[in-house]
Amino acid sequence: MNGSPRLLPLLVIAALGLAACKDDKPASAKADPANPHAVDESKPLEVGDAAPDVTLKLTDGKEVKLSSLKGKQVLVYFYPKDDTPGCTVEAQGLRDGWADIQAAGLEVYGVSTQDAESHKAFIEKHKLPFPLVVDTDGAVTKAFRVPTRLSFAARQSFLIGKDGKIKHVWLEVDPKEHASTVIAAAKS
């Protein structure tokens, strides 16, 4: 067959892509009809849900328990990888809107699965005024029910209100517009 040797790598890539997209959550993560109070971990967090009480490990080794921030509005934003185009644009937008973010009384924590050294370099290179969370084991990502692909978190954000409940959820984020959208939501 003419051209089939070039087609084989494309078919392999397509098959791997489909395998990565399959729902591989264990049955135990699904809602349990016998227990109406069970949490369906396959569904995204929603407005009104309590924010997960996770410990955020920062690049300087400090740890912040999310529940200790009750009384403040907190943005926890997830991004795939340090210093990639979309992630850089998103972080720079938050940096450039920092005065408005502070005026809105908002604390910001960026989360991805890279290590502390990668985060430190990203913070330094782009002069980020907010901390990044080291989530190499994916515990924070999992607690917020953010999907991952090839160990990279999806670009999603959660605005937590002063009461510790989710105030706004962005399951699809436009990196260029995210800062202004977050600031508007924090002021509302």
Catalytic residue selected from 87, 140, 182, 185: 87
- Give the separation between CA 159 and CA 167, rounded to whole angstroms: 5
21 part of the active site: no
- Give the separation between CA 21 and CA 42, rounded to whole angstroms: 14
Residues whose CB is less than 8 angstroms from the CB of residue 113 and which lie 6 or more positions away in sequence, other chains included:
135, 136, 138, 141, 148, 151, 152, 153
Q: Distances in Å between the alpha carbon of 15 and those of 8, 21, 121, 158?
A: 11, 10, 35, 33
- Give the separation between CA 17 and CA 73, rounded to whole angstroms: 38
Q: Give the single-character DSSP code of 109.
A: E
- Give the separation between CA 104 and CA 99, rounded to whole angstroms: 9
> Catalytic site residues?
87
